[in-house]
Amino acid sequence: MTSNPDPGLRVLPPDDLLREDLHNEVHARPSAHIRLPALVAFVAVLNEGVNREQECAHLRQLPGQGGLTPVQMSGNFLRLRFDEYTLKWERHTEFTRYSIVQPLPEGSGLGASDPPLQDHLVTPPGWLGDIPGRTVAAIQLVMLQADLPAQTSEAQATLMAPAQRWFGDRTVLASQLGGGHSWAVTDFLLQPSGFEHLLVITPPGTSETRAGRISQRLLELETYRLMALRGLPVAKALSPTLAQAEAQLAGLTAQMENKSVSEQDLLDQLISLAARVERATAENTYRFGATRAYDALVKQRIAELREKPIPGTQTLGEFMQRRLSPAMATVAASEQRLTSLSERISRTSALLRTRVDIATEAQNQQLLAKLTRGQELQLHLQTTVEGLSIAAISYYVISLLLYLAKAGKAAGLPIHPEIAAGAMIPLVLWVVWRTTRRIHARLGKPSDKP
């Protein structure tokens, strides 16, 4: 009777090399736990040309982080805890995010108007400005607690007024998040400090994990929106090139109808055009694909917010979609134009190959006709030569017979040499002609050997 296997022993086949990494990916970027009220300073920078060692060296400038190594940052996620704040570092394909969570400074709550948040950042002076990379998004997110009003226009206006005053009485956008659990207010304007301001109001008792999820969704929403829009300048810059290429292709197609234009000239122009289009495709395919991916993430984050409108105020998601959709349509149209242009060039190339094949076939037919005519002339010449050859051979044979008859007469035979030679002429001609025909028949007979 066998005993039960030790539950601590492994009973599975060996792991795939990527199994642990893929499994832990779901835990790679956990949401922060934010104790309210709080200020979140968020900076996202493009990391093109910036390696992990440079980012590690910059993080080592923070107090107590002199021993930080790139190995600790190999998972593309790192959370550092300090006495007054926490810092989260995340490296993505195109950008790196730094999120600093600190207590809300005094005088930055709902009673304030345009509070100078940048004056209260807890990071060392100049540290944010020295982050390696180029800023693509920077947000100062204030999260505080207050009693949310009932779902009536009058009650909601009592909270909307101080929220708008917090933004200096500028026009703001606002949404109820989570079906009404909390509020998010912003003006989507860049401040002189380079930051955007975002205000989140949650009811008392909101958990730290829920506050962390709210902040992560809002910060990701704005970051992905800006990253998606990076395809718009590319599409606009590409538009004149596409228009020129389309006009040139139309001209080439029209020239193909003119038989006087040489195929070589058309081919040279088409190859040059195809090279330019393929170069544009290679340079912009990634950007267009990334734009689609970021746009999909924006739509997903908007759906996750589960917004409800506040009377008299446009929601964040509605504002983003109305401004983002035309840009995404422009990018998609440019990508489609580029793809369509490449396909049309391929079809034009096929048409040009057909024209070249037809011209080549006509040349081959002319060459074949010339060869056939030459063979006919050669056959006539050969027939003439064969007739002359029969006459020449017969002449030499009759000459030999004449000498043979003269030799016989000299030997005393009763032979008249000239008469004998003349009598042999028909026979000799027939024998030579017959022999020549047999030789031709033998040479023309197909050989049985491989």
For the beta carbon of residue 222, count every other beta carbon within 10 angstroms. Answer: 23
Q: Mean pLDDT throughout 38-60?
A: 95
The proportion of the chain whose per-residue pLDDT surpasses 70, expressed as a percent, equals 93
Give per-residue pLDDT as tens, 172-212. 999 999 888 899 999 999 999 999 999 999 999 999 999 99
Distance CA 287, CA 230 (A): 8
Please give the pLDDT value at position 41.
96
Q: Quick one: CA torsion of 145, 146, 151, 155, rounded to 10 degrees?
A: -150
Please give the pLDDT value at position 228.
95
pTM value? Answer: 0.77
Which residues lie below 8 Å from residue 142, measured CB to CB, with a gap of 6+?
37, 38, 39, 40, 104, 108, 115, 117, 197, 198, 199, 200
Q: Judge residue 65's burial from the number of C-beta atoms within 10 Å of its C-beta, 0-12 exposed, 13-18 middle, 19 or more buried.
A: middle
Please give the pLDDT value at position 399.
82
Q: Mean pLDDT throughout 141-149?
A: 92
* Lookup: tokens for 267: 């081919």
Please give the pLDDT value at position 42.
96
Q: For residues 147 and 361, which has the higher predicted lDDT (pLDDT)?
A: 147
Please give the pLDDT value at position 1.
45
Q: Which pLDDT band holds residue 145 (cuts at 50, 70, 90)?
A: very high
Give per-residue pLDDT as tens, 293-343. 999 999 999 999 999 999 889 999 999 888 899 999 999 999 999 999 988
Closest CA to 144 of 88, 211, 85: 211
Give per-residue pLDDT as tens, 276-292. 989 999 999 999 999 99
Q: For residues 28 and 244, which has the higher predicted lDDT (pLDDT)?
A: 244
Give per-residue pLDDT as tens, 76-89. 889 999 988 999 99
Q: For residues 386 and 86, which has the higher predicted lDDT (pLDDT)?
A: 86
Please give the pLDDT value at position 94.
94
Please give the pLDDT value at position 29.
67
**Token pair 């982080």 in the structure block, residue:** 65
Distance of CA 296 to CAs 174, 175, 257, 301, Å? 22, 21, 45, 9
**If you ran DSSP here, which 8-state letter would residue 91 be given?**
E
Please give the pLDDT value at position 98.
96
Give per-residue pLDDT as tens, 12-38. 888 888 887 777 776 666 778 899 999
Would you call the peptide bond into 63 cis, given omega within 30 degrees of 0 as the criterion?
no
Winning range, highest mean pLDDT, from 48-62, 393-407, 418-432: 48-62
Please give the pLDDT value at position 433.
80
Assess contact for 115 and 104: CB atoms under 8 A.
Answer: no
The proportion of the chain whose per-residue pLDDT surpasses 90, expressed as a percent, equals 49
Closest CA to 140 of 18, 24, 40: 40
**Domain edges within the chain:** 29-205, 231-366, 375-438
Which residues lie below 8 Å from residue 289, measured CB to CB, with a gap of 6+?
none
Q: Mean pLDDT throughout 97-111?
A: 92
Which residues lie below 8 Å from residue 362, measured CB to CB, with a gap of 6+?
none
- Look at residue 6 and tell me whether its pLDDT is greater than 70: no
Strand locations in 251-340 (E) = 308-309
Q: Which pLDDT band holds residue 49 (cuts at 50, 70, 90)?
A: very high
* Lookup: tokens for 407: 């030799």
- Look at residue 2 and tell me whether its pLDDT is greater than 50: no
Assess contact for 41 and 196: CB atoms under 8 A.
Answer: no
Helices marked H in 46-190: 52-59, 153-166
Please give the pLDDT value at position 63.
92
Q: Mean pLDDT throughout 34-45?
A: 95
C-alpha R_g of the chain: 46
For the beta carbon of residue 238, count every other beta carbon within 10 angstroms. Answer: 21
Distance CA 386, CA 371 (A): 22
Q: Mean pLDDT throughout 122-140?
A: 94
Q: Mean pLDDT throughout 268-276?
A: 87
Beta bridge partners of 136: none
Give per-residue pLDDT as tens, 218-243. 999 999 999 999 999 999 999 999 99
